[in-house]
Structure 1
Amino acid sequence: MQLDVYQIDAFSDRPFAGNPAGVVPLKSWLPDAVLQSIAAEINQAETAFFAPEGDHYRIRWFTPTTEVKLCGHATLASAHVLHALGQAPAKIVFDSLSGPLSVAKAGPRLELDFPRHDVHPQPEALAKVAACFDVKPVEMHVSESYDAYLALYEKAADIARLTPDFAKLNALDRTVIVTARGDDGIDFVSRYFAPTAGIPEDPVTGSTHCVLATFWSRVLGKTDFHARQVSKRGGDLWLKLEGDRVKIAGHSTAVMQGTISV
C-alpha cells in the first residue's frame, strides 16, 4: 500500500523555520501499530493522520514513540494539506481526543480553535524544575490538564539562552514550558521541553499556548497576544483568549511531498 505523505513547516511563512510536521491523509484507519511505525519512520516531533468521518474529519497525532491527545502545529499542517488538495470547507472540523477542533482561514494565516488549559502556582516544584536548567526561574506554575510545568523567567533573554539538562528533564513527572515577558512588540516568549514524550525540545508548539494564553492574560490583563517561541527554528503565533477557547493563528509552508510504502 502506498500512502501520500506531506511535510509542512507550521507557524512559519518560509521553509526551514517553524515546526515541521508530517501529515498522512487516510481514506480509512489503519491499525495503531502501523500508525506508530509510520510516525517513527517520518521521525518528526508529530505526524498527523486524518480520515473523513461524515462531514468532519477525525485526526490523531503521534510522536515517534507515542500517541498524544493534542497537537497544534500538526493540526495546522493538516488543514494546510486539505486546502492544498482543494478538500477544505470554509471551516474544517477535526474530531480528536481533545474534542472537536476547528481550523479556519484568517487572512494569510490559518486559525486553530483549541480548548483553554488552566494553570496555577506550584512553588513547591520550583527546586526540582530549576535543577534542569542553567538559569533559575523566578516562579513555578503547573497545568494539570495539560500535564506540564510552567516556569516563569525574569526576561526574554533568559529563555533564548537557557541550556537544559535533558537527563534531568526526562526524570520529571511532567513536560516543561518556560516563558518570559517579550519585547519589541512581542507579548511573551517561550520554549517547550518534552523528552518524556520523545521530543527533547519542540520547535513551535501550538497547544502549549492554550496554557500560556491563560497564564499571560492574568499577568498582562489582556486577551490578544503576539507570541514567539524562541527555539533554534523559531516561530510566531497570534492568540485570542475567548472564554474556554483559545484561537491560535499562524502561517504554514509546504516543504516536501512523497509516498510511503506500508
Structure 2
Amino acid sequence: MRVPIFQLDAFATRRFAGNPAAVVVLDRFLDDALMQAVAAENNLAETAFVVPSEGRYRLRWFTPMVEVPLCGHATLAAAAVVVERLEPGRDSVVFDTASGPLTVDRVGAAYRMDLPARTVRAVPSPPALPAALGVTPVETMTDGSNYLAVLSGADDVRSLQPDLAAIARLDRTGVVVTAAGDGTYDFVSRYFAPAKGIPEDPVTGGAHCALVPFWAARTGKDTFFAYQASRRGGELVCRLAGDRVHLHGSCVFYLEGHIEL
C-alpha cells in the first residue's frame, strides 16, 4: 500500500520553526499497531492520520509511543493539508475526533482552531515535582492529565532545565510550566511529556486549552498573545470563548511524498 504523507511546521511562518507534524492521508484507518509503527518511524511529536468521511474528516493522533486524545498542532497541520492540498479553495474543515468535532477555519494566510477548554484546578504540589523541575512552583494546578506549574517569572520558564526522567515518573502524563509575560507576550510556557515519547514539545495546542482558561481567570482577559519558549519556539494568538479555546496559527509545508506500507 502506498499512501500520501506530508510534514509541516505548525504554529510557524517559516520552516524550521514551530512544531513539526506529519499528516498521513488514508481511505480508512489502519490497524492501531501499524499506525503506531508509522508514528514511531516518523519520530515527530505527533503524526496525524486523516480519513475523508461524508464532507468531513476523521482524525487520530499518535506520538512515537502512544495514541493521544487531542493534539492541537497536528490538527492545524491536518487542516492545512486538507485546505491547501486535498481540497484547494476550501476554507473550513471539521474533524471528528476522540475530543469531539473540531472545526478549523482559514483566516487569511493563517488558521483558527476551535478546541475544547480544559478545566484547571489547584492541587498540592507533589514532592517529586520541584525535584523534577529544579525549581519550586509558585502554584501547582492540574488539567486532569498534566500538572501545570506556575513559576515566578518568564525568565524562570525560559531557563528551566528539568530532569526529564523524573518528569516521566510523575503521576501525570506531562508538565506544563508557565509564567506571566515580561514584554511582548501575555504569558509564556513550556511543555514536557517524556512519558508519551515527547521530551519537550516545541509548540503545544493542547496545553493552551488549559493555559488560556487559567490565565483568563487570573487576568480577567479573554484574548492573549502567547509564546511557547522551546528551542524552536512558537507564537499563538489565543481566545477563550465560553467552554472553547480558539487558537490562531500558520503552517509551512516542509515535505510531501508517499510511504510504503
TM bucket by the smaller chain? Answer: over 0.9
SS of equivalent residue, structure 2 residue 77? helix
Mapped to 1, the partners of 2:24 and 2:183 lie a distance apart of 38
Taking the TM superposition and a 5 Å limit, the aligned residue runs for 1:241-260 are: 241-260=240-259
| Partner AA of 1:222 in structure 2 | K
2:167 matches 1:169: yes
Match of 1:35 in 2: 35
In the alignment, the residues of structure 1 paired with residue 255 and residue 195 of structure 2 have an alpha-carbon distance, to the nearest angstrom, of 28
Q: Is the 8 A contact 2:104 2:113 kept in 1?
A: yes
Counterparts of residues 49-88 of structure 1 (less than 5 Å): 49-87=49-87
Distance in 2 separating the partners of 1:10 and 1:181: 24
Identity %: 48
Are the equivalent residues in 2 in contact too, given 1:126–1:139 (CA < 8 A)?
no
> Who is 1:158 aligned against?
156
Shift of 1:12: 0.5
Structure 2 match to 1:121: 122
Q: Residue 83 of structure 2 contacts residue 92 of structure 2 at CA under 8 Å; is this kept in 1?
A: no
Task: Determine whether 1:220 maps to 2:235.
Answer: no
Q: Structure 1: which 5+ residue stretches go unaligned?
A: none
Q: How big is each residue's C-alpha offset from its partner over 1:181-220, in whole Å with a ceiling of 9 and x where there is no partner?
A: 0122200000001111111110000111000001000111
Deviation at 1:156, TM superposition (A): 0.4
Q: Runs (4+) of structure 1 moved beyond 4 Å?
A: none
Distance in 2 between the 1:236 and 1:29 partners?
32
What is the rounded CA distance, in whole Å, between the counterparts of 1:84 and 1:108 in structure 2? 11
Contact 1:91 1:104 in 2 (8 A): yes
Structure-2 separation of matches of 1:215 and 1:228: 15
The answer as to whether partners of 2:132 and 2:164 remain within 8 angstroms in 1 is: yes
- Tell me the C-alpha RMSD between the 2 structures: 1.1
Matched, 1:90 2:91: yes
Deviations 1:125-158, CA, capped at 9 Å, x for gaps? 25321111222221111111xx111000111000
Number of the residue aligned with 1:4: 4
Do the aligned partners of 2:116 and 2:244 also contact (CA within 8 Å) in 1? Answer: yes
3-state SS of the aligned residue for 1:207?
Answer: helix
Corresponding residue number in structure 1 for 2:139: 139
Mapping of residues 8-19 of structure 1, within 5 Å: 8-19=8-19
Amino acid at match of 1:140: T
Please tell me whether residue 48 in structure 1 is matched to residue 48 in structure 2: yes
| Cα deviation code 1:12-61 (max 9, x no counterpart) | 10000100001101122211111111111111010000001112100000
What CA deviation, in whole Å up to 9, does each residue of 1:91-140 have, x standing for no partner? 20000000000000122211110000010111x22532111122222111
Q: Find the aligned partners of 1:12 and 1:108 in 2 and give their Cα distance.
A: 11
Given that 1:58 and 1:96 are in contact with CA atoms closer than 8 Å, whether structure 2 keeps it comes out as: yes
For the residue of structure 1 that corresponds to 2:175, the secondary structure is: strand
Q: What SS is found at the alignment partner of 1:16?
A: coil
3-state SS of the aligned residue for 2:235?
strand
1:226 is paired with a residue of what secondary structure?
strand
Contact 1:121 1:141 (C-alpha < 8 Å) held by counterparts:
yes
| Cα distance change of structure 1 residues 129 and 234 upon mapping to structure 2, 3 Å threshold | same
